[in-house]
Structure 1
Amino acid sequence: MKNNALAGKTIVITGASSGVGRAAALEFAPYDVKLVLAARNEVALDELAGECGVLGSDALVVVTDVTDPKALINLVNAANDWQGKIDVWINNAGVLAAGEFDKTPIEVHAQVIETNMLGYINGTHAVMPVFKKQQKGILINNISIGGFLPVPYGAGYTASKFGLRGFSEAIKAELSSWPDIHICDLFPAFLDTPGIVHAANYTEKALKPAPPVYDPRRVARAMVKITLNPRSNTYVGSASSLLKLSHNLFPQLTAKITGSVMRRYFKSADPMVSTNGNLFNTVNYGMSAIGSFGRPGKPGAHHKYLALGVLAGLAAGVYLLNSKK
């Protein structure tokens, strides 16, 4: 038992089968909470529920597709029927799709937006009546730095994350008269999760996350801290804040450089057959919390230096551009 302040709280996590969602469940489990685990992969959820039980928390598995509004209502009802309350709701389910915009099927762009943005909206819409009836609740949105930083060759993903940030800001304003209902947004930098191997990929190249890559357990720990002390916005990893700053200061240059970096990567990346990944259906591989692209544990100081290097490079680029005028 780590902290009695969390004991007995009912916590719903969407996208719990792998990545950050799975890491969050395992991070909360030693606190004797009541976990409601939601995703499309029932086998992975059952396995996770068993692990959470060993760590000290009961878990309820609810197979859920967040693109279906009725499924989210069912999730709310299942959690509420089980414990009579919902203390924390974590919007986390997400998918990735990479490829040139016009060469990526339009249904792929639509599905990314359905999952990443409308999935969060569906969840928020379903749980909000419970929070208002209770007159309290914490809703955590795992948005990512992609809510500020555009991702070339991921236009649908960028649209979903930018839209999600705007949606959350609107809901925060709307709920300003409800002091005990908290909307908390998380903006982690690039994470070492299986999400990138689950991604729909139309680049015909193997994908890797851009460095610096952070351990998803850092995001999970941030979720625990937010549950104890709600905050409107949390940036996970120094690179997150610095990348946001670089885009605020040099938006056009940042976009050009990110596009250039990706094109350079594609030239040397290993070839790969196009795939829909887990976009339309769940998959049976890579259901761990951590991927295989970083180093487990806390990121070292070198991550800060890498991020500062990006910012310094952008500043130098602006200087050079201005000096030629």
Structure 2
Amino acid sequence: MNKQTVTTKNTRISGKTVVITGASGGAGRAIAVEFARAGARLVLAGRRDFALDETVEECNQVDASGAISVVTDVTDSEAVALLAKTAFEVYGRIDVWVNNAGVLAAGSLTDTPVEVIDQVIKTNLMGYIHGAHAVLPYFKEQKQGVLINNISVGGWFPVPYATGYSASKFGLRGFSEALRGELLNYPDIHICDAFPAFLDTPGIQHAANFTGRYLKPAPPVYDPQELARALVSLAEKPRESVVVGSMAVVLKLSHALFPGLTRAITAKVIERYLNVADNVPLTSGNIFRPLKFGSGISGGWSRFMPPSKRKIAAALLLTGIAGLFLATRSK
């Protein structure tokens, strides 16, 4: 038995049943592997059967506690209910449910087909509601459980030219808050929100793109494994929210203090980038159907900004926000 295996058996998650949606790549795959390291029994959901098989194999190589997959489209409430039922039937209980599946559509509101925006809302918002609706009866019967919603910094920070995405993420914060109120009589059922900064995943390569320009994430980007470790920690010691990445803190603070200015600057930065970015064909990406590529964890973006530069960028932005705040207060 190697050292890593010994470590996993001593965690609070060891032997717990964890369901993860959107586990066929990117952050979801990183989350699955990290829970496997902690000794969890995993039920992994996603739309891509081949990619889920890859994630299951990687998790089972990390730890022998077991991982299975259930092909699931979270926009289908019956499919999500079947996912929960399968997890319960296989393992006898559900301890942690991670809502993670999500999509992105870029483009102005009027340039983006309304059916694309509908599907973004169905996936990012209704998909999470479907997950909660499916698992809460099991949690209530057990009188305990942890529901984790991976929301992103987009839950605080609006993204012009991705209005459907912003609507879904802002909506998720309200959903979690309201649900906590409903569960006051269940003190051992926890609703936890995660707000990561921009992650180095294939997600943006999968995005619907109606800008006609090449997309790339705004720097800095963070290793998805930072998020994965934070979610395992949430499952072990539940709390209402966790922020992952210093830039997420900076963006939240900037919008809270100067919403109009932050919104205007963000829009101008995006517009300037789109004016000079390379032309690409319009695409609906993975909005309606999964894509064959991009089943790994990384999107390859981190090479553009290593950790040292990330910290410098975050420090500079925070300093600028503090200066603006002090200047405003002195007037």
Interval containing the TM-score (normalised by the shorter chain): over 0.9
**2-structure distance, mates of 1:137, 1:227:** 9
2:52 aligned residue (42, 45, 50) = 45
Question: Is 1:309 equivalent to 2:316 in the alignment?
Answer: yes
TM-score (norm 1): 0.95
- What fraction of aligned residue pairs are identical, expressed as a percent? 55
Deviations 1:212-237 (A, max 9, x none): 11111100010111111111110001
How far did 1:53 drift?
A: 1.1
**Greater Cα shift, 3-12 or 193-202:** 3-12
Whether the 8 Å CA contact 1:120–1:141 is kept in 2: the answer is: yes
How far did 1:30 drift?
A: 2.3
Residue type of the alignment partner of 2:307: G
Residue type of the alignment partner of 1:143: I
Residue type of the alignment partner of 1:44: A
Whether the 8 Å CA contact 1:215–1:299 is kept in 2: the answer is: no
For residue 98 of structure 2, give the secondary structure of its aligned residue in structure 1: strand
How far did 1:242 drift?
A: 1.2
How far did 1:43 drift?
A: 0.6
Matches within 5 A, 1:153-164: 153-164=161-172
Residue type of the alignment partner of 1:60: I
Question: Is 1:140 equivalent to 2:111 in the alignment?
Answer: no
**1-structure distance, mates of 2:306, 2:70:** 33
TM-score (norm 2): 0.93
Deviations 1:155-179 (A, max 9, x none): 0000000001110111112212211
**2-structure distance, mates of 1:88, 1:179:** 15
**1-structure distance, mates of 2:36, 2:216:** 30
Residue type of the alignment partner of 1:278: N
Alignment partner, residue 180 of structure 1: 188
Question: Is 1:32 equivalent to 2:39 in the alignment?
Answer: yes
Residue type of the alignment partner of 1:61: S
Deviations 1:86-132 (A, max 9, x none): 00000000000000110100001110000000000010011000000
Question: Is 1:85 equivalent to 2:120 in the alignment?
Answer: no
Stretches of 4+ moved more than 4 A in 1?
A: 314-323
Matches within 5 A, 1:67-78: 67-78=75-86
1:9 aligned residue (16, 27, 32) = 16
Question: Is 1:286 equivalent to 2:294 in the alignment?
Answer: yes
**2-structure distance, mates of 1:258, 1:315:** 17
**1-structure distance, mates of 2:177, 2:220:** 28
Matches within 5 A, 1:162-241: 162-241=170-249
Instruction: Report the aligned-residue RMSD.
Output: 2.0
Residue type of the alignment partner of 2:126: L
How far did 1:304 drift?
A: 3.1
